[in-house]
Structure 1
Amino acid sequence: MRDPSHHDTSRFPDPVYARTVLAPLYDHAKALFGEPLIRINRAHCVMLAETGVLPQADAARIAAALAQVEASDILEPAEYTGAYEDLFFEVEAALKAHVGAELGGALHTARSRNDLDHAILRIRLKGLLDDFLAKGRALAQAMLDAATRNRAEIVVAYTHGQPAQPTTYGHYLSGALETLLRDLERLEDARAVVDLSPMGAAAITTSGFPVDRHLMAELTGFAAPTRNSYASIAGVDYLTGTYSALSLMMLHLGRLVQDFQYWTAFEVGQLYVSNALVQISSIMPQKRNPVPIEHLRHLASTASGQADALVRTMHNTPNTDMNDSESEVQVAGARAFDTAGRVAELLAALLAQAEVRPDNVRRNIDRSCITITELADTLVRSERLSFRQAHEIATATARAVVAEDSVLSQGFPAFRDAFAQHAGRATTLDEAAFREAVGPERFVAVRDRFGGPAPAAMDEALESYGATLAALDARAAAHQDRQQAADALLQDRFDALRTSAQEV
């Protein structure tokens, strides 16, 4: 049987492969990866010159040619023709056209598409993270502002889908904010893994040339180089960690949105959404549809699913450099950030405009007897009863109120009778003391333990959340400062190298 390679006259690229794979990747690269490629090419040229891998004069000529290539329309959108496999080879060909094939090819000394591609992807992912983290911090600030504004606004808290206890809207939002801040910290921790440069790992095992991996990291704005060269081109935890954290954030925000959907229902009505965020039915004029909440539900689910899809793509892939983790996948991942960003912006707008409806809250509290727990606690403190005995009295009181289709604030007669029956004596509480004991304001005020809804506990918590958010703001500012310093350093060193070509 003949070896097929002996009579294979086909030429790369196959039209179907070009149309389904190479053309989309070419478009993606021009739109998303051109700027990181330019940055890495410049830094690599400077590093090769400063380490003596390339003679200064050769590196200077390459730098001057790179500047000319960058000034051309090479990064402008264009139809993929198959003349070059991808943008990398198109740029290399343009460079060779300026300085010749031998010198133009020298720029790729001591590097591989493996470390280069992962560096490009990491730079791009850092940008996505930074943009989204800014939106996440804005959402956290909107949540903190709403919690502060509503720190004393009573609402009904639910467990198992049923009215459970009164708390404040500020206390409820603070719980959501606490989770959101942890989500943002998880994303920041993921960013720290992204912020490591694989440049210098080359194909797998670094290089026999005396490259300076730390200099490459500094010039390109990374915090440091990755350590193990194999992990530099095979490890994908910078991807899985990032998108897992993003998915978790969307999952957690989705639970908050589910509550808002319930709270705005006509039968509950404890949260009012402003007219600017309400659509009216086309046929039922009485309906106020807070549809942004519905959009938030499916957008959060969509973003979570998009992020999970990227993580699942990494499942059972070999621990080597693979296209499974590269540009096409990262373009799909960028859509997850886009959707998640819409969630953050829309939820921040909703929080800024939503208000508690106190009349409806008061009605629901009275009808549901959810302050009865505090009545039992009050009896333990003031009447010196055991909690079990006090609980029985409170239970009998609530049952009598419900049976009479009354409300708890009017239930003093039922309480007085239940107390006498179970305690064998008259209560020392008069009707005013009873009303105070079953009032939601007292329920909240006496719960002044760490993490509770009472004013002092809330003040401490809000201050803590503000400090955490300020620390996140400071980390973002530090990232920006370091990147700006790296950009300036690279520009100076590259310009110095480029202009030295004119002196040779």
Structure 2
Amino acid sequence: MANLQDPRLTDTSGFPDPVYKETVLRPLFDGAKTHHVAAFGAIDRAHLVMLAETGILTPEQAGKIAVARAALDDEIDPATLVYTGEVEDYFFLVEKELKVRVGAELGGRLHTARSRNDIDHTLFKLGLRARLNVLIGQAIALHGAIVKKAEAEADTLIVAYTHGQPAQPSTLGHYLSAMAEVLARDIQRLFEAYRIVNLSPMGAAAITTSGFPINRERVAELLGFAAPLQNSYSCIAGVDYITSTYSAIELLFLHLGRPIQDLQFWTSFEVGQIYVPNALVQISSIMPQKRNPVPIEHLRHLASQTVGRAHTMLTIMHNTPFTDMNDSEGETQETGYQAFATAARVLELLTALIAQISVDPARVANNIRRSCITITELADSVVRREGLSFREGHEIAAAVAKAVVAAQGDLGTDGYAPFLDAFRHATGRDPEIDAAAFAEITSPEYFVAVRDRTGGPAPAAMAKAIAGYKTQNAAFAADLETFIATQAAADAQLATAFNLLKEAA
């Protein structure tokens, strides 16, 4: 006959199982002691101050706990802690040590009206917020460096490519300005993620808040959050603060990877329009002629690593239940921190590289000559000066380009005779455009100068755009400074309130 006895009545196993201890509990403990000690301490302090201010704890009780909690930080070096299995996790270790100092009854009162659920999401948010502060600052610095370089290179001609082929003349400043615009939108996404992160879950407790008269707004204030999250279920179930953060990071580095790839192409021997200085070039171990701009390769793979790590966070969140769950906690958060680590390296290195690259004007001039990329302006000028339709002008210009390329000539000096033939063939008359005008029209300088519409590479349009980018960069920096100052003020307020508790003990 089958044994129908309830296993709960016969289970003699002791927690933790050795395998569970080594595969789950120890890694979680080590991660907490490495990444979350400071945030957990701040949460304890803010919660204790609130318990005292609301009368849930007496001043004497709160004071004794405050003295003991401060002593823990002074007496225990988290780096030296070794997980033994005596307690489940770092939270219970702190509570155990607190009880040793003030007694089990009083030591257990700090946890009144809270849960590891709201504690965990709060300390994860504090960890993300601190990292976002640094990341946003680095992104703003890169944006500033790009804008500065764009202004300095506003008149520096380059070949602009489409579909991997020479397309039109532009300037390095115009190209970098496009890069700055995309980066600015990515910075705005980071700020929006920051605002989502910057709402406090504390006070949700396990799910539904508490019957104690807690003050969630006060805890949010002491921890530097903008406000408490409104719905308590959302506090412990919502992971959009994670997905918004890593979505913004993924997009930022996906977008940066594209101009990084251009830099790799533009520094190749065959193109060679961008020069990387010796300080950022490595040599071959066997081929003495080699100049390898490998920082660009490192930028490319580190940007890709960042994209991959950020996307991993989104994948982990996919199809998880809408509740508090381990999928979004400890080890997952540490996985995300790796994205911040590689992100920082990319932003710092790319900022340095952008400041130091230069254009090889001889290579640019030769590539422009070989590719006939000013021919678009010839078609446009024929329309404007000769009164033809765009299609007629385009066909004339195409015939000229074909003839010049076949002869391996220079459009400005060798293209006028083919132009006369093509124009006469198309219209039955001679053009008003003479050889001197033709040479001017087909020069890259003229090509850029006449494109003075909003967003174009001409000097006036570029000057207006760069002024706007500078203003935007200053606004970004001011917003970040406000966030950081708010947190610093909250830290000071929390320290003062906590010290008052200790003094009253």
TM-fit CA distance, 1:58:
1.1
Structure 2 gaps, min length 5: none
Alignment partner of 1:439 is 2:439: no
Counting only pairs closer than 5 Å after superposition, residues 70-85 of structure 1 correspond to structure 2 as: 70-85=73-88
- Could you say which residue in structure 2 is the equivalent of 1:91? 94
- Could you say which residue in structure 2 is the equivalent of 1:338? 341
For each residue in 1:371-422, what CA deviation from the matched residue of structure 2 results, as whole angstroms up to 9, or x when unmatched? 0010111111111222121111111111111122212122111112211221
Alignment partner of 1:229 is 2:232: yes
Alignment partner of 1:108 is 2:111: yes
Tell me, in whole angstroms, the C-alpha distance in 1 between the residues paired with 2:320 and 2:466.
45
- Could you say which residue in structure 2 is the equivalent of 1:369? 372
TM-fit CA distance, 1:320:
0.3
TM-fit CA distance, 1:238:
0.1
- Could you say which residue in structure 1 is the equivalent of 2:489? 485
TM-fit CA distance, 1:74:
4.7
Tell me, in whole angstroms, the C-alpha distance in 2 between the residues paired with 1:46 and 1:191.
26
The correspondence for 2:16, drawn from 13, 22, 35, is: 13
Q: Partner of 1:280: helix, strand, or coil?
A: coil
Question: Which letter maps to 1:155?
Answer: I
For each residue in 1:232-288, what CA deviation from the matched residue of structure 2 results, as whole angstroms up to 9, or x when unmatched? 000000000000110001100001111111111111111111111111112221121
TM-fit CA distance, 1:338:
0.3
For each residue in 1:189-235, what CA deviation from the matched residue of structure 2 results, as whole angstroms up to 9, or x when unmatched? 00000001000011000100110000000011111100000000000
- Could you say which residue in structure 2 is the equivalent of 1:127? 130
Counting only pairs closer than 5 Å after superposition, residues 26-425 of structure 1 correspond to structure 2 as: 26-410=29-413, 411-425=415-429
Q: Partner of 1:288: helix, strand, or coil?
A: coil
Question: Which letter maps to 1:442?
Answer: Y
Identity of aligned residues (%): 57
The correspondence for 2:479, drawn from 475, 481, 486, is: 475
- Could you say which residue in structure 1 is the equivalent of 2:454? 450
For each residue in 1:109-131, what CA deviation from the matched residue of structure 2 results, as whole angstroms up to 9, or x when unmatched? 00011001100100011011111
Maintained 8 Å contact 1:74/1:91: no
Tell me, in whole angstroms, the C-alpha distance in 2 between the residues paired with 1:283 and 1:4.
70
TM-fit CA distance, 1:7:
2.0
- Could you say which residue in structure 2 is the equivalent of 1:429? 433
For each residue in 1:349-391, what CA deviation from the matched residue of structure 2 results, as whole angstroms up to 9, or x when unmatched? 1111111111111111111111001011111111122212111
TM-fit CA distance, 1:75:
2.5
Which segment drifts farther, 332-341 or 1-10? 1-10
Q: Partner of 1:451: helix, strand, or coil?
A: coil
- Could you say which residue in structure 2 is the equivalent of 1:494? 498
Question: Which letter maps to 1:12?
Answer: F
Tell me, in whole angstroms, the C-alpha distance in 2 between the residues paired with 1:462 and 1:25.
48
Tell me, in whole angstroms, the C-alpha distance in 2 between the residues paired with 1:298 and 1:488.
41
The correspondence for 1:461, drawn from 437, 460, 465, is: 465
Tell me, in whole angstroms, the C-alpha distance in 2 between the residues paired with 1:79 and 1:201.
31
Q: Partner of 1:289: helix, strand, or coil?
A: coil
Tell me, in whole angstroms, the C-alpha distance in 2 between the residues paired with 1:57 and 1:281.
71
TM-fit CA distance, 1:139:
1.0
Tell me, in whole angstroms, the C-alpha distance in 1 between the residues paired with 2:148 and 2:316.
39
TM-fit CA distance, 1:2:
2.3
Question: Which letter maps to 2:421?
Answer: D
Tell me, in whole angstroms, the C-alpha distance in 2 between the residues paired with 1:300 and 1:132.
14
Q: Partner of 1:167: helix, strand, or coil?
A: strand
Which segment drifts farther, 189-198 or 381-390? 381-390
Maintained 8 Å contact 1:30/1:77: no
Question: Which letter maps to 1:58?
Answer: Q
Question: Which letter maps to 2:473?
Answer: L
Question: Which letter maps to 1:84?
Answer: V
Q: Partner of 1:128: helix, strand, or coil?
A: helix
Structure 1 gaps, min length 5: none
TM-fit CA distance, 1:77:
2.9
Tell me, in whole angstroms, the C-alpha distance in 1 between the residues paired with 2:332 and 2:36.
13
For each residue in 1:165-194, what CA deviation from the matched residue of structure 2 results, as whole angstroms up to 9, or x when unmatched? 111110001101100111011011000000
Maintained 8 Å contact 1:31/1:77: no
How many pairs are equivalent? 501
TM-fit CA distance, 1:61:
1.4
TM-score, with normalisation over the residues of structure 1?
0.98
Which segment drifts farther, 188-197 or 428-437? 428-437
Maintained 8 Å contact 1:27/1:77: no
Tell me, in whole angstroms, the C-alpha distance in 1 between the residues paired with 2:412 and 2:286.
40
Question: Which letter maps to 1:317?
Answer: T
Question: Which letter maps to 1:169?
Answer: L
For each residue in 1:39-88, what CA deviation from the matched residue of structure 2 results, as whole angstroms up to 9, or x when unmatched? 11111111001111112221121112111122111523322111221111
For each residue in 1:291-344, what CA deviation from the matched residue of structure 2 results, as whole angstroms up to 9, or x when unmatched? 111111111111100000011100010000001001110011000000011111
Maintained 8 Å contact 1:163/1:370: yes
Tell me, in whole angstroms, the C-alpha distance in 2 between the residues paired with 1:297 and 1:286.
24
Tell me, in whole angstroms, the C-alpha distance in 1 between the residues paired with 2:67 and 2:84.
28
